């Protein structure tokens, strides 16, 4: 059984985004990255879903985890593994989707 999809809203210049993605990569998780730079609709979607304006914003399924520090705290406490269940599913077609990342 596959776990929920992991989504991370990012910006290219963001050090916190790089740290959050590195944590997801270390765990070997597939995730969908949504770059909000120059994409007003992506930023608005992120703000609507999270209630926050800053990046990164991480979701496991529909559950908002928070930013980079929130993600790290969830990892330390075991909450991230609980949210993931059996782990994040791979993207449907990683080679066809440049926003899909797998380790």
pLDDT digits (tens, 9 = 90+) for 42-78: 999 999 999 999 999 999 999 999 999 999 999 999 9
The enclosing domain of 35 has a CATH number of 3.40.30.10
- What confidence tens digit (pLDDT) does each residue in 32-41 have? 999 999 999 9
The reported pTM is 0.82
CA dihedral 32, 18, 57, 27 (to 10 degrees): 60
Other Cβ atoms less than 10 A from the Cβ of 53: the count is 10
**Considering the domain boundaries, does residue 1 fall inside one?**
no
- Sequence-separated (6 or more) residues with CB below 8 Å from residue 70: 58
Domain housing 37? 6-101
Q: Which two tokens stand for residue 48?
A: 């609507």
**Considering the domain boundaries, does residue 81 fall inside one?**
yes
Alpha helices in 28-99, H assignment, sequence order: 40-50, 68-77, 79-84
- Report which secondary-structure segment, H or E, holds 15: helix 15-26
Domain count, the chain: 1
**Considering the domain boundaries, does residue 83 fall inside one?**
yes
**Considering the domain boundaries, does residue 73 fall inside one?**
yes
């Amino acid at each position: 059984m596959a776990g929920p999809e992991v989504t991370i809203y990012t910006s290219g210049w963001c050090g916190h985004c790089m740290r959050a993605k590195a944590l997801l990569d270390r765990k070997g998780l597939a995730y969908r990255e949504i770059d909000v730079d120059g994409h007003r609709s992506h930023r608005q979607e992120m703000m609507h879903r999270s209630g926050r304006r800053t990046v990164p914003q991480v979701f496991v399924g529909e559950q908002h985890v928070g930013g980079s520090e929130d993600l790290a705290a969830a990892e330390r406490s075991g909450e991230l593994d609980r949210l993931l269940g059996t782990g994040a599913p791979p993207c449907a077609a990683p080679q066809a989707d440049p926003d899909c990342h797998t380790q």
